[in-house]
Amino acid sequence: MAYTQVLSTSCMFYKEDRVPMTSDNSKMKPPHVLTVAGSDSGAGAGIQADLKTCAARGVYCSTVITAVTAQNTVGVQGVNIVPEDFVVEQLKSVLSDMQVDVVKTGMLPSVGIVSVLSQSLHEFPVRALVVDPVMVSTSGDVLAGPSILAEFREELLPMADIITPNLKEASALLGCQQLKTVSDMRSAAKLLHEMGPRYVIVKGGDLPDSLDAVDVFFDGQDFYELRSSRIKTRNTHGTGCSLASCIAAELAKGSSMLPAVKVAKRYVETALDYSKDIAIGNGTQGPFDHIFRLKSNGQKSHRQVGFNPSDLFLYAVTDSGMNEKWGRSITDAVKAAIEGGATIVQLREKDAETHKFLEAAKACCEICHSHGIPLLINDRIDIALACDADGVHVGQSDMPASVARTLLGPEKIIGVSCKTIEQAHQAWIDGADYIGCGGVYPTNTKANNLTVGLEGLKTVCKASKLPVVAIGGINASNAGSVMETAVQNLKGVAVVSALFDRECILTETRKLHAVLKTAASMTLQRTH
């Protein structure tokens, strides 16, 4: 069950077309989450939320039902607990046969059920255990009484890779006063960590007087405050179950813990935003739409998985003026850059008319995706949405990254230009995937651009929690010096004029690619 096993395979993001083989090497095994939880007849929370979340995240989900509840948007009208021996039978059926990757627990309504679950997990170990210590429903109804607290503390928490209590659950597990501040949440996360789980996230959704939804994540060493905008909606029933099952789904796909938690938070935030106006039931708390992506303008997703930082290695950024000057179409320029070795492309078409830009962006999307290269759009979220690009790059005076994230959803790539440590920190909080840092050298491509130099780049890279691509005046003569700084988080260089303001884009991209490869292998030799 040790979570290190998940970490050791963390590079294996499963793509739709690339899932691991089964033991006979002929069939595909999808990532698999088993949820051990209660059924919610209203289908907003519990087993039903877990099934929908896993389906939305492309993960197979099996179920062990611990209780059947009669509930709706008004509250919980009845609970029928499944006998322990039948919980055991379900656990055995699934765990003995189905190669479960991750177990996620929700409502565990009796001491006996917590106990038989712990025993089954010892008998059939899985790669990770996500424990959502469900005690009270969003309507305030008690789903697991105080009698199970001791069993939780002694049996389940020490086995857990992550626990995901809300404020009330955290104080119940600790037997302490109500948590009222982020500082209280940090102290609680630390104390809960001492009970055995490898990671803790204390969810602050119910924190009074907070504009953002703040969760505190603790990995045993560092605290992270994960913020998302508070969506104004009554449709929040089941958010806790969905967050935990999304974490489980991401772990099952091979993610490591912090990225899994961040994706899960984004997933729930985006689902709430999509569902804020739906009306189901007459009570005060409605369900949200877990499978919102099926309805998002019929968009097809080219990329099942999140961002791969190594894509930043040779980042080609187009420029409409330069293409015009050399009499080239955007599509020809992009094709040549890809053939030369570009690993990601950004369309930075400052002067293009919207109509023409969209046509070109659609064509470039097809070219990039046929080569497995991500395509980002500079500044224009509308164009990115309309052509279903892989994401956007925004600067400090463009659309804020947090808003772009809400508009684009959890899957798309968002890059932010940062010149300072503070901007880099904010980009991380806002849910960006990478930062662009520059200008490393003076440039004629961007007017009045402040040059931060190699030292400025190093400072930002060292402080950044996100991968970094260097930009500004970079070419084949100086790219080696940039990469040989070998500063942490620096993944590559972004280049405009040294590729696109040249006679032959293919030759220049090949040249730059060779320089970057040499620098990477020299850095590798030095560090070994």
Ligand X SMILES: Cc1ncc(COP(=O)(O)OP(=O)(O)O)c(N)n1
Ligand Y SMILES: Cc1nc(C(=O)O)sc1CCOP(=O)(O)O
Instruction: Classify each residue of 100-120 as buried b or exposed e, where b means 16 or more C-beta atoms within 10 Å of its C-beta.
Output: bbbbbbbbbbbbbbbbbbbeb
Binding mask 376-395 for Mg ion (x = CB under 5 A): ---x---------------x
Binding mask 32-51 for ligand X (x = CB under 6 A): --------------------
Helices (H), 57-165: 84-95, 111-123, 149-151
In angstroms and rounded to an integer, the radius of gyration of the C-alpha atoms of the chain is: 25
Interface with ligand Y (CB under 6 A), residue from 187, 420, 497, 518: 497
Strands 102-105 and 223-229: unpaired
Cβ atoms of 451 and 439 within 8 Å: the answer is: yes
> Residue 185 and residue 201: Cα distance in Å, rounded?
9
> Residue 341 and residue 518: Cα distance in Å, rounded?
14
* Nearest-approach distance from CB 317 to ligand X, in angstroms: 6
* Nearest-approach distance from CB 371 to ligand Y, in angstroms: 22
Cβ atoms of 476 and 498 within 8 Å: the answer is: yes
E strand or H helix that includes residue 6: helix 4-8
Q: Which does 472 bind (CB under 5 to 8 A by kind): ligand X, Mg ion, ligand Y, none?
A: ligand Y
Binding positions for ligand X, 290-329, rule CB under 6 A = 315, 317
What are the structure tokens assigned to 495, written together? 């280049």
44 binds ligand Y (CB under 6 A): no
Size of the site for ligand Y (CB under 6 A): 16
- Annotated catalytic residue, options 240, 409, 415, 438: 240
Binding positions for ligand X, 437-476, rule CB under 6 A = 446, 469, 471
* Nearest-approach distance from CB 450 to ligand Y, in angstroms: 7
Interface with ligand Y (CB under 6 A), residue from 64, 103, 261, 471: 471
- Annotated catalytic residue, options 241, 368, 437, 461: 241
Q: Any catalytic annotation for residue 341? A: no
Q: Of 484, 486, 489, 478, nearest to 512 (Cα)?
A: 478
427 binds ligand Y (CB under 6 A): no
If phi > 0 it is left, if psi is from -120 to 50 it is alpha, else beta; for residue 301 that is beta
> Residue 33 and residue 506: Cα distance in Å, rounded?
45
Q: Of 67, 32, 470, nearest to 254 (Cα)?
A: 32
Interface with ligand X (CB under 6 A), residue from 379, 388, 430, 508: 379
Binding positions for ligand Y, 405-424, rule CB under 6 A = 417
Q: Which does 449 bind (CB under 5 to 8 A by kind): ligand X, Mg ion, ligand Y, none?
A: ligand Y
395 binds ligand X (CB under 6 A): yes
> Residue 441 and residue 424: Cα distance in Å, rounded?
19
Q: Closer CB to ligand Y, residue 262 or residue 446? A: 446
- Residue number, nearest CB to ligand Y: 438
Binding mask 251-280 for ligand X (x = CB under 6 A): ------------------------------
Q: Any catalytic annotation for residue 239? A: yes
> Residue 430 and residue 415: Cα distance in Å, rounded?
11
- Grouping H, G, I as helix, E, B as strand and the rest as coil, residue 101 is coil
Cβ atoms of 204 and 210 within 8 Å: the answer is: yes
Q: Which does 346 bind (CB under 5 to 8 A by kind): Mg ion, ligand Y, ligand X, none?
A: ligand X
Q: Any catalytic annotation for residue 453? A: no
41 binds ligand Y (CB under 6 A): no
| Catalytically active residues, by annotation | 203, 236, 238-241
Which residues of this chain interact with Mg ion, rule CB under 5 A? 379, 395, 398
Which residues of this chain interact with ligand Y, rule CB under 6 A? 417, 436, 438-439, 443, 445-446, 449, 471-474, 495-498
